[in-house]
Amino acid sequence: MKKFFKENIGFVLAFIFNLLMIGFLFTNQFNIVTKVGDDKYYQATNIIDLLNGKYAPSWIGVMYIIYVALALILLLIAFLLKNNKKIKDGLLGAVLICDCLIFGFAFGNKELFANFAAGKIENFKECQISYGGGTMMLLASLQLFAAVSCSEFKKENTKTICEDAILIASAFVLNLIKFFAMPSGGSVNLQMLPLFIIALRRGPLHSFVCSGLVYGLLTCLTDGWAFASFPFDYVIAFGSVALLGFFRKLIMYRDINNGKSIFLGELFIIIGVTLATTLRFVASTLSGILIWNASLVTSTTYNGPYIFVSGALALAVLMVIYPTLITIQKRFPTEEKISQ
């Protein structure tokens, strides 16, 4: 038994944190604050209040439960299939996504609830995170680190981490250089370009962690918009670059002196970037509908122009520097061995 716990301590801790999250779902998630004259009144709410649909749509609570339950199921399957490293890491990557969504919902629920409840609760003033919601955020973060400790992600060396940090920082800077800014969030820029390079260098799972989770969280915290939009506008939208990573073998291992080979590589770049940009558009459109209460037409026409123009700009630059990326890949190959 002692040997089992020693060998599987990461999984054991991740399971414990998940079970604690299930328990804390039923504690006070946040407080509704109402004001009558100079007096403030606090009403504690938990998962039952989120499910009853009295003040806000019940799907807010349902999605909260789904993320916690899905993380537990994926973690269990990953443990059972831990001898298959690729499947295990893929499942643990999905657990990381769930943890980020749990974190986002623990923080964003108050904004969602406040948005819907403001018109239904008399003298409504604000919502505040309570001890249950704060603990959910902490447990989701702890489970995330425990899941990483079970995976091959922990074997990334210093060179890989530094390269990722430079590219993520470059995306962050490029996000500040806006060719055109939309009035309610979103802009035409080249922030996706470094994220696409991560996908080509490291593959889909690694790029999703760097782009959807790390970069997505950083930009969400600094953009100044509601954290409730984190799942769609950040995790999925920026994590969409992982789709290009699926074409990595077909793109990065080409003969730069062979025109036909380069043409095929560029073709796969076009396909991958188009799919990624389309997924980003779908995610942001859903965010507009579900989070911001916009109609399908309004959300589509708002998000479409800047997302597809940004995708086209990133694609154009990526195709120009494509031969250079192949040269870099040959001179500074990634650690894993890939058959050519």
> What pLDDT is stored for residue 224 in this prediction?
65
Task: Give the count of domains, the chain.
Answer: 2
pLDDT single digits (tens) 219-246: 887 776 666 677 888 889 999 999 999 9
The pLDDT of residue 190 is above 70: yes
Residue 256 in tokens: 């730069």
Q: What is the dihedral of CA 104, 105, 110, 116, to 10 degrees?
A: 120
In a shared domain, residues 225 and 138:
no
CA atoms within 13 A on the CB side of 200: 32
Which range marks the domain in which residue 132 is found? 1-155
* CATH at 99: 1.20.140
Classify residue 34 by its DSSP letter. Answer: E
The pLDDT of residue 155 is above 60: no
pLDDT single digits (tens) 117-147: 776 777 777 777 788 888 888 888 888 878 8
In a shared domain, residues 174 and 68:
no
> What pLDDT is stored for residue 337 in this prediction?
43
> What pLDDT is stored for residue 339 in this prediction?
38
Say if residue 24 is exposed, middle or buried (CB neighbours under 10 Å; 0-12, 13-18, 19+): buried
> What pLDDT is stored for residue 107 in this prediction?
65
Q: What's the rounded Cα separation, in Å, for the pair 265 and 175? A: 27
In a shared domain, residues 132 and 161:
no
Long-range Cβ pairs for the range 78-85 (8 Å, 24+): 78/11, 78/150, 79/8, 79/11, 82/11, 82/150, 85/152
The pLDDT of residue 110 is above 70: no
Domain stops at, among 155, 188, 213: 155
In a shared domain, residues 23 and 66:
yes
- Contacts (Cβ under 8 Å, ≥6 apart) of 147: 10, 14, 75, 92, 95, 96, 99
% of the chain with per-residue pLDDT over 90: 31
> What pLDDT is stored for residue 219 in this prediction?
87
Render 68-104 in DSSP notation, one character per residue.
HHHHHHHHHHHHHTTTSHHHHHHHHHHHHHHHHHHHH
Band the pLDDT of 150: cuts 50, 70, 90.
confident
Band the pLDDT of 340: cuts 50, 70, 90.
very low
In a shared domain, residues 133 and 199:
no
In a shared domain, residues 310 and 231:
yes
Q: What's the rounded Cα separation, in Å, for the pair 284 and 237? A: 7
Domain stops at, among 155, 186, 207: 155
The pLDDT of residue 30 is above 50: yes
In a shared domain, residues 146 and 102:
yes
Domain stops at, among 155, 171, 194: 155
In a shared domain, residues 28 and 150:
yes
In a shared domain, residues 185 and 326:
yes
Lowest mean pLDDT segment, chosen from 3-7, 85-89, 165-169, 210-214: 3-7
What's the mean pLDDT when you consider all of the chain?
Answer: 84
- pTM (2 d.p.): 0.66
Lowest mean pLDDT segment, chosen from 55-59, 82-86, 236-240: 55-59
In a shared domain, residues 166 and 140:
no
In a shared domain, residues 112 and 194:
no
Question: Of 157-166, 247-256, 307-316, which has the strongest mean pLDDT?
Answer: 307-316
Lowest mean pLDDT segment, chosen from 70-74, 153-157, 180-184, 273-277: 153-157
| Count of C-beta atoms within a 10 Å radius of residue 196 | 28
Strands 30-36 and 187-188: unpaired
Q: What's the rounded Cα separation, in Å, for the pair 3 and 26? A: 34
In a shared domain, residues 139 and 245:
no
pLDDT single digits (tens) 282-303: 999 998 888 778 899 999 999 9
User: In the chain, helix, strand, coil percent, each to 5?
Assistant: 70, 5, 20
> What pLDDT is stored for residue 122 in this prediction?
75
Q: What's the rounded Cα separation, in Å, for the pair 111 and 143? A: 24
* CATH at 275: 1.10.1760.20
